[in-house]
Each structure stands twice: as C-alpha cells, then as structure tokens.
Amino acid sequence: MHSIVRIALIPALMTTALWAGGCASVKDVQAAQAAADAANAAATAAASRADAAFNAAQAAGHQADQANVAANQAEMAAGAAQQAAQTATASAQQATNEVQAAEQREAAERAAAEEAREQQATRRTRLARGERG
C-alpha cells in the first residue's frame, strides 16, 4: 500500500507544482515531498487502524462462537434436566399407583378376613344351638 501511495501521489504532486509555477524550485519540490510524506504517514496510520479493527472483529467473532457453544451446551443440559424431571414424575406416579393398589389389596384382605370371622362366628353359633350346616 505504501508503494502505491508513493508511486501515485508523489508524481501527481510534482506535476501539480510544475504546472502551477511553470518551473519548480527546490522549495516547491521539498514542499511536494513533505506533502507526500504526510500523505504516506496518514495512509500508514489508516492501515494500522484498519488492521486493529479487523483483529477486533476477529476476536469478537471468536467470542461469539464461544458463546454459541456455551448456549448449545446449556440447551443440552436443560433438555437432560427436563427428561430427568419427566422420568421422576413418571416414577412418582407409578409409586402412587402402587400405593393405591396396595391400599386396595389391604382393604380387600381386611374385608375378606372380617367376612371369614363373621362366618366363623355364625358357624359356632349354629353349632352351639345344635344346628348343622
């Protein structure tokens, strides 16, 4: 880029100085050289700022990629947690169903035992009266 500035800018400035004065003096050439050097310095500074901006953009791109990876990992963890919660809910429902079934079996067994006691008591009463049957 520097060579482009020197190749294009210095002859243009010298030509302008020659056309303007008809003939260029040493001072005119020195002034043109100083202007060319100033333009070269400005171009170099602009190139440095452009490089810094490019590097900052690349760093921001890397940070965005890292944030995307972290977001994907968090999404996967949330999905796993949701699956675990659903499994826990299903297990709790199954345990509730098993408890209800056990309570129903216990009530049925209690009722059957009570009925058996009543039949036993009735049989004893009949036998005590001398009835058969």
- Interacting residues of 133 by C-beta distance below 8 A, sequence separation 6+: 126
Task: Give CA–CA dist 37/31, Å, rounded.
Answer: 10
For 23, phi then psi, to 5°, come to -145, 135
**Residue 119 structural domain:** 88-133
83 belongs to a structural domain = no
64 belongs to a structural domain = no
67 belongs to a structural domain = no
pLDDT score for 125: 64
76 belongs to a structural domain = no
Q: What is the pLDDT along the chain (133 residues), one digit of tens a residue?
A: 556 555 556 666 666 655 565 566 778 778 888 888 999 999 999 999 999 999 999 999 999 999 999 999 999 999 999 999 999 999 999 999 999 999 999 999 999 999 888 887 776 666 666 666 5
77 belongs to a structural domain = no
pLDDT score for 66: 97
